[in-house]
Structure 1
Amino acid sequence: MPIANNNFAVADWIIFAGSLFLSGCIGIFCGGKQRTTKDFLMGNRELKTLPVAVSILMSFFSAILILGAPAEMYTNGTQYYIYVFGQMAAAAFGAILFVPLFYPLKLTSVFEYVELRFKSRATRLTVTAINAFTTIIHTGVTSFAPSTALQAVSGFPEWASFLLIGCVCTFYTFLGGLKAVVLVNVFQFIVMFGSLLAIIVTATAEVGGFGNVWELNDEWGRIDFWNFDVDPTIRHTFWALTVGGMLSWIGSFGASQQSIQRFSALPSLRQAKLAVLLNCVGVCVMVTCACVAGISVFAYYVMKGCDPYTNKDIQNTNQIIPNFVMEKLNFHGVRGLFFAALFSGALSKISANLSSLVTTMWEDVIKPHVHKKSDVVQMRITRCLVLLFGAIGVGASFVVRSLDGTVLQVSLSFMGTASGALNGFIVLGAFFPCCNWIGAIVGPIVSYAVMMWISIAKYSVIGVEEKLDFPALNCTVKNASRSLVTNKITPYLMTSEINMITTVNSHIPMATDELSGLDRLYSLSYLWYATLGLIISVVVGLVASFITSPTKPEDVDPAYLIPWCDRLCCYLPSSLRTYCHSGVEHGSQESVLSIRYTKSLEENKRNEPHVFVLSNDNNINDQRQSMDAN
């Protein structure tokens, strides 16, 4: 059933197509300056702080934010907003802990760190494989949300949207590399932010101001922030949204390929830390706008007296925001801007995934075998990788299309399932000098297998029936009813809200306190996936290391370790900090770290270690000094 009764006007199609065309033009603009793989993959490490900060933000936000967060607020109230504090804390801790570790190493692929730390090629290839599989699946999920919405309002087929998104992303990434991706992300951020503001302004004006929005949501039981229940099976609690959310996102901001590739392309460590810290502001702005849009649209439908899902105007609550746009933002071009924002979100996320996939595959798998080839040949290979993974991403979209579930929960579940394992590689290496390469492989693999098992089995557990009411006084469909059941498979399609939507009451909902055994484990909130996965990675990895002879801490170069006490407790006297730092020697003014790393096979053969002079405030000395091998 199409949303509302309005179709795209010519102006809407022009705005929509124009945004895609401009994204492609940016790729053309940047493409002429790409001469080497360093230019293509890292922007020659000469990017600017603010664009990189925006690009990091847009690497993790997509159309799922525009559709999913408002739908969650509309359906289940304001508690989800607490999630923003977990994300902001993740960005802050990522800048404090991980940026000073990775930036001085000047990595192109984050998984190079894994090989350097554990002195194991197998460990590097293992983490590369897990990351590639997860990224490809998430790419398919990301392109599905805007495709479904556009089909609902215009009849534009989903398969054509998949191809359109894939081709545009591949085009500007193929031509411009990382620099094009960063600049396009800035443009896409502006489009997404503008569309959310348009929805908020229109909805609040219809209701009579934000005061009325808040009052109406309060009357309908939507204003509820503080659920301090410690039960991990409850989908959203204060602890799950803050602690679980922080642990889910800290790896994304501080230790993911998308983030490290970008902040390592900046000229200095100070700029790299600032770029990640600025995401605290970016996250707050974008999530706040998306959440306010959700409660504003709910207030509008309360005033109207009929919820569009209850009235069967839409198939699922994923379509609530597009329905409102088609119903009230009936100015020519504005609706086109909204759908341009949806596609911009998808493009930003997919291009980030595409860039990171190409970079890791080149650095971790292909480069060691073609290092003697000329720059021209290496550039051709990397661009062929862009085409290859672009095609694979489009194929993943068609696979995801056939899955049941919801876009946001499926995407966050996949991210949580994998992030525990991926973060495990980094945490075991950076915080535990005793961990050896066997533990670094066994721990994350066990974690990934267990969390994937829980994630899949979760859909066999019947969740808790939602109890919030929805306006239906003026609905035209008689005896209209809705049933919102968490953890329940939808019979229609994947939507972008967190809850599972179903119109089939084939099972009686079961309260979580009635669950026992494995069913209780399967009902674990998706927000705790990353936390549980990380715990499994660390515990199993350390046990495996001690069984197979742990690494001696003195054999680990301190450049690969995080002195967590120094960075989190810098206000303490140095005499106290020496008892818990990770082995870095401290002087009164400077610490000199002998960072024995190699950036390529050629450097490895030359065996040229480097010294970085780090001041107490972690500012890197611009002068790198070459040393003799001894």
Structure 2
Amino acid sequence: MTLANNNFAVADWIIFAGSLFLSGCIGIYHAISGGKQRTTKDFLMGNRKLKTLPVAVSILVSFLSAILILGAPAEMYTKGTQYYMNVFGQMAAVVLGTILFVPLFYPLKLTSMFEYVELRFKSRATRLTATARAVTADELIYTGVASFAPSTALQAVSGFPEWASFLLIGCVCTFYTFMGGLKAVVWVDAFQSIIMFGSLLAIIIKATVEVGGFGNVWELNDDWGRIDFWNFDVDPTIRHTFWALTLGGMVNWIGTFGASQQSMQRFCALPSLRQAKIAVLLNCVGVSVMVTCACAAGISVFAYYVMKGCDPYTNKDIKNTNQIIPNFVMEKLNFPGIPGLFIAGLFSGALSTVSSNLSSLVATAWEDVIKPHVHHKSDFVQTWITKCLVLVFGAIGVGVAFIVKTLGGTVLQVSLSFMGASGGALNGFIVLGAFFPCCNWIGAIVGPIVSYAVMMWIGIAKYSVIGVEEKLDFPTQNCPVKNTSTSLFTTQITPYPMTANTNMITTVNTHVSASPDELSGLDRLYSLSYLWYATLGLIISVVIGLIVSFITGPTKPKDLDPAYLIPWCDRLCCYLPSSFRSYCYCGVDHENQEPVLAIRYGNSVEDKEGNEPQVFVLSKDNNINNQHQLVDVKHNKPEKGFLVH
């Protein structure tokens, strides 16, 4: 029995279509309720009155998409349990993102993360550079790439063509984002997370029951050499080690949860800083649950095929290891409605990722590029411009999906490597601004650009290095005799850090040639594990950025507002002497210049039309008991107003 021979039943199509229909209904509901998306504030930021739990879930599923449902189980199936250690790197990233970045961005009440770059460096060129790099290199490409996992799976189990899936994902995402804005995206994400979790849970339960309990699952994986968590080798060319998965993974993901447009846009849409911190921190729970379930599905399905005695990939029942989970679903969960639930889970993951990217693209393009030219227009006109941007980027996303499809599998992996390699460069804009007061706008442009160029070079060259032989065996004793020849294959994970530090797992054929010890010179550099890409990229960004800043004239501490810097010693090393902490801040007095947030619009929080309040900070020499001198954060202009508590 092969995967292609299985077809959807009527019940499967009903469940699948029902999930898409409900997603659209959520968009319609938010289009006709509340503020009815009449203002850009409501459309792009949910009027900054969203709920904590849905926002937390939305942040989670924006990055843990359909690729997780197919990719993580395939990784565990083919390479063993070492990959699971990455969950601890992700959890550490969530904690650090909550401590460091949420208190930086939230008080500024930003819509686009790159607005921070302009405020910090007082340079629009820096902001536009960061915007262009993120939009073109990450969000637009990944909007198309994210459609592949569910499209190929649906085609395999039902014959539904890939091109129709691209159109379906693009149209559904565009529809509910156009209708309901950020509110719809967040609530649809929350709804879709239930489907994603349910589909994984069904696989785990069925596979475990077939094997005779989770104890047998663990024992069978151990017998076949799959249980391995503690590879402490420090060689950075080894694909997965404890250090690469935890430390490298932490750097990969910290920008995703704390300093990406998708995450920042959501936690800044909450009513208070406390709720923003809680929403991001809850992702520790979400990450641990979802990744654990995905990994458990992989080892459970492997145990089932051990009991069966025939690996479907070696037996050529499937084309690549990403189809292992769909193959199991059609083989053992082929009850009316269950395959439909599984495909709905895959599509839910894709919809959550694509809609998140779509919402982020619109917010970024509006705030960074278009708004300065149409600020004199009415809010009604501005809102319709943002809605038209949804249609434009939705159409482009579908187009990118078709383009990437025509490029073929190898080029697809290279495209994903480019996005993974760009993570360090993107994080470099924020890290240089938030942690290094001496960095100027020239260094903030040159550092990330050099980092991006170098990491792209390494990413391209990586495919010139011949692969290393895999040592794990696969069950073939009960396979038909004509198909018992064993194929050598490697499963390569390519990271997507920006917006999204998402892992794409794909299978490629390679030739066995060299071991890591035999590599030398540039080949060793090209063999660097993908988990260290973001770390190396960030180091290059910071080092080059600081060198250029010192050559061109570093920024003076007196010219900086502490609101744009992170007092990292106070938050991470508060036990250190204050003199040492002051030295680390390069002359910026965080203790005495810490701004007090005030919101003012005339003499009230909002005007009668519901326009968003301007954000100000109290200047350091003012008394906070009466009327105060306020400083406009965005335009650095003094304003008279009242402190609003």
Q: Residue 485 of structure 2: which of 463, 473, 480 is its match?
A: 480
Residue 450 of structure 1: how far off its partner (Å): 1.0
C-alpha distance in structure 2 between counterparts of 1:9 and 1:499, whole Å: 28
Aligned-pair CA distance for 1:73:
0.1
| Distance in structure 1 (CA, Å) of the matches to 2:543 and 2:91 | 27
- The match for 2:26 is 26
Contact 1:72 / 1:497 at 8 angstroms: preserved in 2? no
2:327 aligned residue (317, 323, 327):
323
Q: In the alignment, what sits opposite 1:501?
A: 508
Q: Aligned-pair distance for 1:2?
A: 5.6
Question: C-alpha deviations, 1:567-596, integer Å up to 9, x for none?
Answer: 012345656544434634436xx9445899
Given the superposition, is the C-alpha separation of residues 242 and 595 from structure 1 closer, same or farther in structure 2, using an over 3 Å criterion? farther
User: Which stretch has the larger CA shift, 53-62 or 474-483?
Assistant: 474-483
Aligned to 2:120: 117
- Specify whether residues 373 and 608 from structure 1 end up closer, same or farther in structure 2 by C-alpha distance, changes over 3 A only: closer
Cα deviation 1:397-445 (Å, max 9, x = unaligned): 1122134447996676344312111100000000111111000000001
Tell me which amino acid in the other structure corresponds to 2:119: L
Give the Cα separation in 2 of the matches to 1:82 and 1:624.
54
In structure 1, the partner of 2:499 is none
Q: Which residue of 1 aligns with 2:452?
A: 448
Deviation, structure 1 residue 210? 0.1
Superimposed CA distance per residue, residues 228-267 of structure 1 (whole angstroms, 9 cap, x where no aligned partner): 1111111111111011100011001001000010000001
Question: In 2, distance between residues paired with 1:135 and 1:626?
Answer: 40
Q: Indicate if the aligned counterparts of 2:468 and 2:512 stay in contact, CA closer than 8 A.
A: no
Superposed counterparts of 1:108-147, under 5 Å = 108-133=111-136, 134-147=138-151
Tell me the distance in 2 between the aligned counterparts of 1:624 and 1:352.
41
2:223 matches 1:223: no
Report the 3-state secondary structure (helix = DSSP H, G, I; strand = E; otherwise coil) of the residue aligned with 1:310. Answer: coil
Residue aligning to 1:546: 550
Q: 2:522 maps to what in 1?
A: 518
Structure 1 pair 410–424 and aligned structure 2 pair: CA distance change class (3 A): same
Render the CA deviation track for 1:104-128: whole Å, top value 9, x for unaligned: 0000100000001001010000000
Match of 2:8 in 1: 8
One-letter amino acid of the structure 1 residue matched with residue 394 of structure 2: G
**Structure 1 residue 611 displacement after superposition:** 2.1
Quote the Cα distance in structure 1 between the aligned partners of 2:285 and 2:347: 23
CA–CA distance in structure 2, aligned partners of residues 11 and 320 of structure 1? 23
Residue correspondences, number: 605
Contact kept, 8 Å, 2:322 with 2:505, in 1: the verdict is no
Residue 347 of structure 2 corresponds to which residue in structure 1? 343
Of 188, 205, 209 in structure 2, the residue corresponding to residue 205 of structure 1 is 209
Q: Which amino acid aligns with 1:567?
A: R
Letter in 1 for 2:534: A
CA 1:418–1:488: 2 relative to 1, 3 Å = closer
Matched residues in 2 for 1:259 and 1:238: separation? 27
- Whether 2:98 is the aligned partner of 1:92: answer no
Q: Do the aligned residues in 1 keep the contact of 2:66 with 2:350 (CA within 8 Å)?
A: yes
Change in CA separation of 1:167 and 1:2 when aligned onto 2, cut-off 3 Å: farther
Determine if the alignment matches structure 1 residue 53 to structure 2 residue 59.
no
Give the whole-Å Cα distance in 1 for the aligned partners of 2:96 and 2:589.
20
Does the Cα contact within 8 Å between 1:311 and 1:477 map onto a contact in 2? no
Corresponding residue of 2:428: 424
Bigger mean CA offset, 453-462 vs 20-29:
453-462
Cα deviation 1:351-390 (Å, max 9, x = unaligned): 0000000000000000000000011111111011000100
Deviation at 1:498, TM superposition (A): 3.2
Partner of 2:427: helix, strand, or coil? Answer: helix
d(CA) in 1 for partners of 2:356 and 2:597? 33
Q: What is the distance in 2 between the residues matched to 1:594 and 1:174?
A: 33
2:497 matched residue in structure 1: none
Partner of 2:236: 232
- Is it true that 1:530 corresponds to 2:534 in the alignment? yes
Which residues in structure 2 correspond to 1:379-398 (within 5 Å)?
379-398=383-402
Alignment partner of 1:35 is 2:38: yes
How many angstroms does 1:521 deviate by?
1.2
Q: For residues 575 and 497 of structure 1, what CA distance do their matches in structure 2 show?
A: 46
| Alignment of 1:69 onto 2:72 | yes
| RMSD of aligned alpha carbons | 2.6
Query: Secondary structure of 2:101's match?
Result: helix
Map 1:363-402 → 2, pairs under 5 A: 363-402=367-406
Contact between 2:74 and 2:325, CA under 8 Å: does it hold in 1?
A: yes
Q: Say if 1:477 and 1:313 are closer, same or farther in 2 by CA, change over 3 A.
A: farther
**Contact 1:318/1:497 (8 A) holds in 2:** no
1:312-368 CA deviation, whole Å, 9 max, x = no partner? 110111100000000011210011000000000000000000000000000000000
Cα distance between partner residues in 1 of 2:28 and 2:2: 36
Is the CA contact (8 Å cut-off) linking 1:7 and 1:153 kept in structure 2? yes
Indicate yes or no: 2:179 matched with 1:175: yes
Question: TM (normalized to structure 1)?
Answer: 0.92
1:165-210: CA deviation from partner (whole Å, max 9, x where unpaired): 0000000000000000000000010000000000000000000000
CA distance in 2, matches of 1:592, 1:585: 9
Q: In structure 2, do the counterparts of structure 1 residues 472 and 527 end up closer, same or farther at CA, with 3 Å as the change threshold?
A: same
Q: Are 1:406 and 1:498, in contact at CA under 8 Å, matched by a contact in 2?
A: no
User: 2:107 matched to which residue of 1?
Assistant: 104
One-letter amino acid of the structure 1 residue matched with residue 617 of structure 2? V
**1:214 aligns to what SS in structure 2?**
helix
Q: 1:553-564 residue pairs with structure 2 within 5 A?
A: 553-564=557-568
* 2:617 counterpart SS class: strand
CA offset digits 1:54-77 (Å, max 9, x no partner): 001011111000000000000000
Equivalence for 2:500: none
What corresponds to 2:356 in structure 1? 352
- Is this contact kept in 2: 1:611–1:624, CA < 8 A? no
1:545/1:418 Cα in 2 relative to 1: closer, same or farther (>3 Å)? same
Pair 41,497 (structure 1): closer, same or farther in 2 beyond 3 Å = closer
Match of 2:616 in 1: 610
1:218–1:488 distance in 2 versus 1, CA, 3 Å? closer
Contact kept, 8 Å, 2:305 with 2:311, in 1: the verdict is yes
Aligned-partner SS, 1:627: strand
CA contact (8 A) 2:107 2:273 kept: yes
Q: Tell me, in whole angstroms, the C-alpha distance in 2 between the residues paired with 1:609 and 1:57.
A: 28
Matching residue's letter, 1:451: M
Query: Aligned in 2, Cα 1:432/1:3: closer, same or farther, shift over 3 Å?
Result: same
CA distance in 2, matches of 1:591, 1:418: 33
User: Partners in 2 of 1:214 and 1:19 — Cα distance?
Assistant: 34
Residue 484 of structure 1 and its aligned partner are, at CA, apart by: 1.1
- Asked if the contact 2:322–2:506 (Cα under 8 Å) also holds between the matched residues in 1, the reply is no
Identity %: 77
Q: Match for residue 82 of structure 2?
A: 79
Pairing partner for 1:166 from 161, 170, 180: 170
- Distance in 1 of aligned mates of 2:414 and 2:300: 26
Tell me, in whole angstroms, the C-alpha distance in 2 between the residues paired with 1:417 and 1:559.
Answer: 30
Specify the code of the residue in structure 1 equivalent to 2:25: C
Measure the CA separation in 2 of the matches of 1:234 and 1:403: 29
Code of the residue aligned with 1:500 in structure 2: it is T
CA distance in structure 2 between the aligned counterparts of 1:544 and 1:227, rounded to whole angstroms? 39
Return the offset for 1:481. 1.4
The letter of the residue matching 2:154 is L
Q: Residues 152 and 162 of structure 2 are in contact (CA less than 8 Å); yes or no, is this contact kept in structure 1?
A: yes
Q: What is the letter of the counterpart of residue 281 of structure 2?
A: L
* Cα deviation digits, residues 30-74 of structure 1 (max 9, x gap): 112111000000000000111100001011111000000000000
> Does the CA contact (< 8 Å) of 1:416 and 1:527 recur in 2?
no
